[in-house]
Amino acid sequence: MHRQCTTPTTNGSSNGDPNFRQFPKDVGIVNIEFYSPAEYVDQAELEVFHGVSPGKYQVGLGQTRMAITSDHEDIHSLCLTVTKRLMEKSGISPKEVGFLMVGTETLLDKSKSIKTVLMQLFEEAQNFDIQGLDTTNACFGGTASLHSAVDWIESSSWDGRYAIVVCGDIAVYAEGPARPTGGAGAVAMLLGPNAPLVFDRGVRTHYIKNAYDFYKPNFSSEYPVVDGKLSISCYMEASYYSYSLFRQKFAHSIGETVTIDSFDGLVFHAPYCKLTQKALARIAFNDFKSDPNPDYNGKYKGCEKFKDRTVEDTVFDKDFETTFVKVTSEAYEKKLKPCLFAATEVGNMYTASIYSCLVSYLNSKTPKEMAGKRILAFSYGSGMASSMFSLKVSTDPSPGSTLETIHLNAKECLSKLPQRIKLTPEEFTRRLHEREKYYLKYPFTPTESLDVLFPGTYHLTHVDAESRRFYQRKPLKSV
């Protein structure tokens, strides 16, 4: 028998239809787990190694450190690690999971999904009845999976069990200006009713278009083709129009007019942290253009000249950037910057980036400080697909509450970051050169040391002559 996380209820107004069920109460994120590899390169040292001006990566990109994987870790091992830890810390049995979906763009096979690899975690419990597979579109696959999980719980297909969504990627770039925007990490989320982070219903928006800003047409290489200027332009456009649609839906469904001031946390996709500040400026621009009586002597002083501009006109306008970064300076410091801690320390995690920001938000406040507040989330994936949605935080911050549980787990996840081992830029470069050689090669056996891996980390043992990949888990013990 599957243990249910709650019992679906029959709605008495269903005209006698026994299959009619109400929406479960407070569907959202019950718990969240974050994982990043145990080694990193320092961005300040990388600046010196690359011969660029001091601060180019730290200030210009907003990055401090960048996670590195050894040859023992791949996208399968990252997802295995974060999923197993989520279930262990949440105290749930493999039998209690009825939906599992993975969002990633780090592919090791053009046919076999990562979700099927994760099913080994459920084999001992003989639970093979788990819906969902993988979703791929650049950095947006995790959010698409998340939306699908929520839709499953709110549908007639839901059987009362939990859903798990896993987002993970290894971001690596060819030598050149994009290389310092790499990173690696994974996030797993447990979803169900009576959650501490509840999705606002009826406000989810999408903004999806055809664009070649970032894509991976070469199946023999991990490296993407990147049009840097177009990528920035697409991200700005998507943030502006997603928010515009969101404001309309929120007013219709919730009955409130929202602005930046309506939210306690701003959780944005962070390919590099500086880009999120630019997106915040465009969201404030949307607030400004929607304000029937903007105060040109107060908050919007100096903004008059931009009233008739379009967001497309502003993308590389330094005057606009300076003006609206100033307008949003307080919101950035209080609502956005605290959400960037993991992204600053780890770098780009593609699908996991936005949800590492959610972990950082939960870490940055006490349960009492965040209780009853709202979080605005903006997800972006090149190509391009984007979405904006919001979450309401539980009003119960008491000891032992679900809000305290998810808060404490977020703190524990991030506490491992200072325990990582620093590698030199030379070693980082060597690792990437080696990855180029063994990428999708078989048979293959990793040669790096296992000593650096955190306890409980899954790792690749070998790839056999048929390209089948095998994994073990490093024993659990105190660090």
Is residue 198 within 8 Å of residue 374, measured between CB atoms?
no
| 426 a catalytic residue | no
269 is catalytic: yes
Interatomic CA distance for residues 120 and 217, integer angstroms: 31
Residue 400: per-residue pLDDT: 97
Res 19: pLDDT: 55
Nearest-angstrom CA–CA distance, 258 and 244: 10
Burial zone of 435 (CB within 10 Å; 0-12 exposed, 13-18 middle, 19+ buried):
middle
284-311 tens-digit pLDDT: 999 999 999 999 989 999 999 999 999 9
Name the active-site residue from 5, 79, 139, 167.
Answer: 139
Of 33, 73, 96, 105, the catalytic one is 105
72, 147, 269, 459: the catalytic one is 269
pLDDT, position 477: 75
Write down the mean pLDDT value for the chain: 95
Q: By the 8 A CB rule, do 49 and 208 touch?
A: no
- What pLDDT, on a 0 to 100 scale, did the predictor assign at position 87? 98
How would you write the pLDDT of the chain (479 residues) with one tens digit per residue? 345 665 444 343 455 555 555 789 999 999 999 999 999 999 999 999 999 999 999 999 999 999 999 999 999 999 999 999 999 999 999 999 999 999 999 999 999 999 999 999 999 999 999 999 999 999 999 999 999 999 999 999 999 999 999 999 999 999 999 999 999 999 999 999 999 999 999 999 999 999 999 999 999 999 999 999 999 999 999 999 999 999 999 999 999 999 999 999 999 999 999 999 999 999 999 999 999 999 998 999 999 999 999 999 999 999 999 999 999 999 999 999 999 999 999 999 999 999 999 999 999 999 999 999 999 999 999 999 999 999 999 999 999 999 999 999 999 999 999 999 999 999 999 999 999 999 999 999 999 999 999 999 999 999 999 999 999 999 987 54
CA pair distance 113, 100, nearest whole angstrom: 12
pLDDT digits (tens, 9 = 90+) for 104-158: 999 999 999 999 999 999 999 999 999 999 999 999 999 999 999 999 999 999 9
Take residue 261 and report the two structure tokens written for it.
């001031």
Q: Is 105 one of the annotated active-site residues of the chain?
A: yes
Name all domains of the chain by residue range, CATH numbers in brackets: 28-473 (3.40.47.10)
**Would you say the C-alpha torsion 38, 44, 50, 56 has a positive or negative sign?**
positive
Task: Report pTM.
Answer: 0.95
Helix (H, G, I), strand (E, B) or coil at 35: strand
What gap in Å lies between CA 92 and CA 102, rounded to an integer?
19
